[in-house]
Amino acid sequence: MDHDVVVREKMTERYLLNELDPGIRDQFEEHFFDCPDCAQDIRAGAELVAHSKTVLAETSEDAFIRPVPARSKPGWLDWLRPSLAAPVMAALLLVIVYQSLVVYPRLQSALRQPEVLPWAQVNVGMYGDGGPTITVPAAESFLLFVRIPSDGSFVRYTADLYNHDGKLEWSLTIPAASQQDQWPVRIPAANRASGSYTLDVSGVTAAGDKKGIGKASFELQIQK
């Protein structure tokens, strides 16, 4: 069984919830015995279930054994009463446990995995309708290779990305290098719409003076 299919189909969570068909379940068990990432997810999920049962059992007992005298008027601190605070604290604890045992290890594992990103090259100063087109899956990151004309008078550059509505998405500082005229910029994942995007680049001198260098545009197509 392919690991990408396991992640895409959320088979780890479905396995723990006993939602997999018998045939798929057998294939998944064969897979996670040989896959350290899936095995870690299974162990973390099992620990989460065990912690949840313990916390919920203690919470239910505390909520019903320790009654709170009735009050004539509800106050804004009523949520701190044991009968209400205990379930709230239990829910918060479950969130913390889940993040510690499942979410963070999975993010660390993803950071160690190589990834091929969509990319395009833009040339600052060649602003117009002739920019490149880049196709990106929805809510995914991509790379821009930004070519900036060499100019020894600048110590750094600033780049501003404007979306298809002309609104500023982010600003980036790029250190100048005398032997370099191209910088790879990773565009972070976001819920973007298809359309024309513009990168506006300026140079900054050692004295802090800012001078516009040029703009570059590219057409973004969101693949759904």
pLDDT digits (tens, 9 = 90+) for 50-105: 666 565 555 555 544 455 555 555 554 454 455 555 565 666 666 666 566 565 66
pLDDT digits (tens, 9 = 90+) for 173-197: 998 876 778 899 999 888 899 999 9
Q: In this predicted structure, what is the pLDDT of residue 64?
A: 47
* HSE-CB of 212 using CA atoms within 13 angstroms: 8
For the chain, the domains span: 3-111, 119-223
The single-letter DSSP state of residue 189 is P
Name the residue among 216, 205, 22, 3 with its Cα closest to residue 121.
Answer: 216
Q: What is the CA radius of gyration of the chain?
A: 26
pTM of the full structure: 0.53
Q: In this predicted structure, what is the pLDDT of residue 219?
A: 94
What does the angle CA 175 – CA 177 – CA 180 come to, to the nearest 5 degrees? 120
Please tell me the least confidently modeled range out of 17-31, 45-59, 157-171. Answer: 45-59
Instruction: Output the six-digit token pair for 134.
Output: 């880049």
Q: Which CATH architecture has domain 119-223?
A: Sandwich (2.60)
Name the residue among 131, 129, 133 with its Cα closest to residue 118.
Answer: 133
Residues 201/124, Cβ–Cβ less than 8 Å: yes
Burial class, 198, CB count within 10 angstroms (exposed 0-12 / middle 13-18 / buried 19+): middle
Residues 45/13, Cβ–Cβ less than 8 Å: yes
Average model confidence (pLDDT) across the chain? 77
Q: In this predicted structure, what is the pLDDT of residue 30?
A: 82
